[in-house]
Amino acid sequence: MKNLNGISKYLSLVTFSHTIFAMPFALIGFFLAVGFHHYDFTLTTLLVVVLCMVLARNAAMGLNRYADRKLDAKNPRTSQREIPAGVIKAHSALIFTLSNSALFIAATWFLNPLCFFLSPVALLVVLGYSYTKRFTYWCHLILGLGLAIAPIGAYLAAAGKFHWIPLIISVLVLTWVSGFDIIYALQDEQFDKKEKLFSIPVKMGPRKALWISTLLHLITAGMVILTGVLGEFSWIYWIGAILFVILLIYQHLIVKPDDFSRINRAFGTTNGIASVIYAIFFISAIYLI
């Protein structure tokens, strides 16, 4: 029971439930390779892809919580997170981050040489995000880039080479994540200003920040359409595409420049549902045509 309690603390530290944002797109990348382009399917590769996703995200979130521990303690919204609340010690979080980073690189060895040699680059991106809000207003795009690695990485794991469809999907993920991270950052605008941190809401204010988020999500919708057209996917794909875009629109309807009360619904619930729905219909379209 004690061990389970310890595990639950670390799952909470990394907000494990938010793995749902990137994991569906990693599965899309994998099944694009084995189902659409007919590379060999192995259960081992699929399991290692899932493991790599979990390890990379654990490392990224662990470092994020470690790097932001003093800021989190000052911010009323985040003061009860595990490190400032004393649930997990700072050095323990750092060890957790380093361990997951090392295991991630080791796991890619069991995929193929290209994935192994690119793994430090991927790790640099996902770990580097934690410090970007200290020097650039475009930190949201770095977060988006970190999650955008998922479909490309999973495709490479199965195929061992690049292809343009997962690259388009990665642009989709980049703009989608960047857009909803701008929405999420609205709730910390005043705190970030006080602490001299960088974000689009700090730079441009809530109203313009929401316009930029909308623009990014328009690009996302464009990538959804482009993927369907160039991939010549069946009507099954388009059902998922339409639902995904509807959920994009919905989160912009419920968050207003003067009302942030439903940000968590827009950020967590809506985007989590959107990613799962899109992946289900995308993968179904690959096999049911």
Question: Mean pLDDT over residues 181-193, rounded?
Answer: 94
Taking the C-alpha atoms of residue 54 and residue 46, their distance in angstroms, rounded to an integer, is 13
Domain that holds residue 122: 2-287
Question: Mean pLDDT over residues 158-176, rounded?
Answer: 95
CATH of the domain at 80: 1.10.357.140
Beta bridge partners of 259: 256
Q: What is the phi/psi pair of residue 259, to 5°?
A: -145, 105
Question: Mean pLDDT over residues 181-205, rounded?
Answer: 95
Domain count, the chain: 1
pLDDT digits (tens, 9 = 90+) for 269-286: 888 899 999 999 999 999
pLDDT digits (tens, 9 = 90+) for 24-61: 999 999 999 999 999 999 999 999 999 999 999 999 99
pLDDT digits (tens, 9 = 90+) for 57-95: 999 999 999 999 999 999 999 999 999 999 999 999 999
